[in-house]
Amino acid sequence: MAAAGAFLMLFLVSHLTTNLLMLKPDGGEAFNAAVDFLLTNPVIKIVEYFLFAGFIIHIILGVMLELYNKRSRPINYYVAGKSGTSTFSKFMIHTGVVIFIFLALHLYHFFFVKIGLVDVYAGAESAHDFLPMVAQTLKNPVNAGIYIFAFILLGFHLKHAFQSAFQSFGLNHDKYTPAIKVIGTVYAVLVAIGFSVIALYFLFLYQG
């Protein structure tokens, strides 16, 4: 579960970096060049299979872990905060479910267009012309609101996930764990803010 999660965390850095190129005021040149690279590189095609496998494995194991934990302790602690776990760790399944729902909507918005399951948006030149599709999706306040809500919960999910992955790999150390926690928090905040900035940019500023 941690290995799949770590892979997904790396994907998020790459996905955020590519998407931030949409904010460059160059008519989408840099972003389209990055999309072309991703679409034509055979290694990326293979990585995409791993990505979807990673999501599926992570989700199945996450649900199994939750069911296992529930069975081990069917009655909650009487006094809140006595379990010794952080607030973030207790809500992993809840934040995970919201991210899953976001992902289904998100794939419908863009990935399903790419693979031909959903019609290309009016105003887009092809199924790979993502900039106008993203702009149309995120200038809608309902979509932008759902996205930003999901990004905030994604941040909470990642905050715990980052340090938890290190723990699962057995890399727990009195000296390094506090630093890992700080790096995890910075990572989670930057991912949540980075994606939210993109949504806010298209909602309020983009003049395409």
Query: Which residues are at the interface with ligand HEM (CB under 6 A)?
Result: 15, 19, 38, 48, 51, 99, 103, 106, 110-111, 114, 130, 134, 147, 154, 195, 198-199
Burial profile 114-127: b = 16 or more Cβ within 10 angstroms, e = fewer: beeebebbeebeeb
Find all residues with CB under 8 Å of 79, minimum gap 6, and list them: none
In angstroms, what is the minimal distance from the CB of 19 to ligand HEM? 5
In angstroms, what is the minimal distance from the CB of 199 to ligand HEM? 5
Measured from the CB atom, is 164 or 192 closer to ligand HEM?
A: 192
In angstroms, what is the minimal distance from the CB of 15 to ligand HEM? 5
Which residue is it, tokens 């599709």? 133
Measured from the CB atom, is 73 or 207 closer to ligand HEM?
A: 207
C-alpha count within 13 angstroms, C-beta hemisphere, residue 114: 15
In angstroms, what is the minimal distance from the CB of 79 to ligand HEM? 35
Measured from the CB atom, is 7 or 130 closer to ligand HEM?
A: 130
CA R_g for the chain = 19
- DSSP letter assigned to residue 121: P
CB 135 within 8 A of CB 206: yes
Measured from the CB atom, is 2 or 16 closer to ligand HEM?
A: 16
